[in-house]
Structure 1
Amino acid sequence: MDIVVNEELKAYIDPLTPEEYESLERSILAEGCRDALVLWGDVLVDGHNRYGICRKHDLPFQTVQNTRFQSMEDVHLWMIDQHLGRRSISDFQRGVLALRKREIVAARRAGNAASGGHAPQAPADGPADASTGNTPPPEPLDSREALARAARLSNSQVVMIEKIHKQATPEVVAAVKSGTISINAAAAVASLPAEEQVAAATAGKDELKQAAKRVREARRKPRDESAASPAASSEEGANASEETIESLRRRVAALTSENTALRKQVANLLDQLMARPGETAQETADTSAPF
């Protein structure tokens, strides 16, 4: 039979590195193609690299039909699960595949809800011999914890990969895929405007690291200032309280001094009033004496 290579399926999973491809080729040349190629009808689903190597060297290979596929979505989900089960892919690739799976599952659930809960039928152009069974419904990935379990990553890694997936330019994504920078650094660089991301990626590994460092320092600075602000406010408040207390003390001292002076004035006036009756009687006696 003629095997059809669907370029979209071939590119759905990140290709092998040159070193990985050479290693696979040496293995097949030494031991033959041990694993069967997986087909959906006449469409090649799994084994693109093995198929290419076998054709290049005119080597025999086996094929097997997966009869559970009913749609291209089933094919994509199967490919994702196959690669998530392998140890050879990177953490970033795991995260991206889990995000793809979430999108497919969410779209399928929305479609089922719109159609009254009925599963979609196999497309009219799908292979007739590839729909003999129903694909089990995949686990819903509607939480970060579920994504982390599916990808075998930590929650924090999933958060960073989501950010890269949404915000990073292709140049930054290529850098993290190749291992030029870490997931953590790529997530930091993804916070920058697109033109700055491209410039850093174009400049190379060192500039990408410096860009990530600048982003982290810029994030720390507001927190440091925020942490220092309550202490400064507390100090200012303490200074203001001390000034208020000192002002009140001076005011009390002034009022006390003024009160003492007033008391003295009152005492003097009383003394003067007490002395005037005698002086008045004497004046009266003098004016009434005969000449």
Structure 2
Amino acid sequence: MINLKIDPEFQSQIPPLTDDEFKQLEENILKEGKLLSPLIVWNNTLVDGHNRYTILQKHPEICFSTMPLPFESREEVLAWICKNQLGRRNLTPEQKKFLIGKQYSVEHRKPGGNGNNQYTAAAKEPVQEELCQIDTIPPTSAEVSIRKQIAERNNVSESYVARSEKFMRGVEIMEQMVPGMQEKILSGQFKVRDADMHRLARADFPNRKQIVHEI
């Protein structure tokens, strides 16, 4: 069996299945005896098909194939994942908002922007704080164009896209400070106000702990 790499950031963009959904998927795969659709990969890193790959590891006798896609950067991969997941019909409002925010964030920060993601930023605290203050900087014409495209594709307003980026960043910060919170928030299990996520996204690093405590 091919051993594929699992990228935590890629995987975290994909809403998890419920136990019943995962069980049904496993039963369907076992019934077919193979995967009907290939796993999407980039440089031997899994991009799409994480649940199916988990099942394959439990049942190595199942036949499967992979389809490499020629992405040029992590940002392109993340944007593709978000667009692909936004095509699902069973997303919670929080999941949809998070994915739209993530797609907008990575698309207007592709190479030519600052190129940071949550992991590189976490290693450089000043950069992380700078990114969280990004809403104070007027958007460029390219950002406005990307925002418009994403809004039209998802039947939402451009202001919704901009707010979604702040929501997404707030959720990611919550996850960094309280592991497991992202799944709880996006599933709707733990309710948060958009205003609180926006406030957390804008906060300087030293003030985040207090805001999380208040939430």
Distance in 2 between residues matched to 1:6 and 1:180, nearest whole Å:
26
Query: Which is helix-richer, 1 or 2?
Result: 1
SS in 2 for 1:107: coil
The equivalent residue for 2:52 is 50
User: Shift of the alpha carbon at 1:33?
Assistant: 1.6
Preserved contact between residue 39 and residue 63 of structure 1 (Cα < 8 Å): yes
Decide whether aligned partners of structure 1 residues 93 and 76 sit closer, same or farther in structure 2, where only a CA change above 3 A counts.
same
Say whether 1:186 aligns with 2:189: no
Change in Cα spacing, 1:7 to 1:108, as seen in structure 2 (3 Å) is closer
- Report deviation, 1:46: 1.5
Q: Does 2:214 align with 1:196?
A: yes
Question: For 2:167 and 2:152, how far apart are their aligned partners in 1?
Answer: 19
Matched, 1:14 2:23: no
Please report how far the alpha carbon of residue 28 of structure 1 lies from its aligned counterpart in structure 2 after TM superposition: 1.1
Deviation at 1:25, TM superposition (A): 1.1
Structure 2 counterparts to residues 56-135 of structure 1, below 5 A: 56-57=58-59, 58-66=61-69, 68-108=70-110, 110-111=112-113
Separation in 2, partners of 1:173, 1:10: 12
How far did residue 53 of structure 1 move?
0.8
CA drift at 1:162:
4.6
When normalised by structure 2's length, the TM-score is: 0.60
- 1:184-263 map, 5 Å: 186-187=193-194, 190=197, 193-197=211-215
CA distance in 1, matches of 2:75, 2:42: 12
For residues 155 and 72 of structure 1, do their structure 2 counterparts lie closer, same or farther at Cα, with a shift above 3 Å needed?
closer
Q: CA deviation at 1:38?
A: 1.5
Q: Mapping of 1:165-180 within 5 angstroms?
A: 165-167=168-170, 169-170=174-175, 174-180=183-189
Instruction: Say how many residue pairs are matched.
Output: 167
Counterpart code for 1:180: Q
Partner of 2:28: 27
Q: Structure 2 counterpart of 1:186, which letter?
A: R
Per-residue deviation at 1:79?
Answer: 1.6
Cα 1:161–1:62 shift into 2, 3 Å: same
Kindly indicate whether structure 1 or structure 2 has the higher relative contact order, using CA contacts under 8 Å at least 6 residues apart. 2
Q: Which deviates further from its counterpart, 93-102 or 187-196?
A: 187-196
Gaps of 5+ in 1: 113-139, 198-291
Over 3 Å counting, the alpha-carbon distance change for 1:27 and 1:6 in structure 2 is same
- What letter matches 2:17 in structure 1? L
Unaligned runs of 5+ in 2: 115-141, 201-210
Identity, % of aligned positions: 31
State the superposition RMSD in angstroms. 3.3
State how far apart, in whole Å, the 2-side matches of 1:70 and 1:25 are. Answer: 32
Residues 97-120 of structure 1 deviation map (CA, whole Å, 9 limit, x = unaligned): 2222222222226449xxxxxxxx
Whether the aligned pair in 2 keeps the contact of 1:37 and 1:44 (CA below 8 Å) is: yes
CA distance in 2, matches of 1:85, 1:162: 18
Tell me how far apart the structure 2 counterparts of residues 159 and 39 of structure 1 sit (CA, whole Å): 30
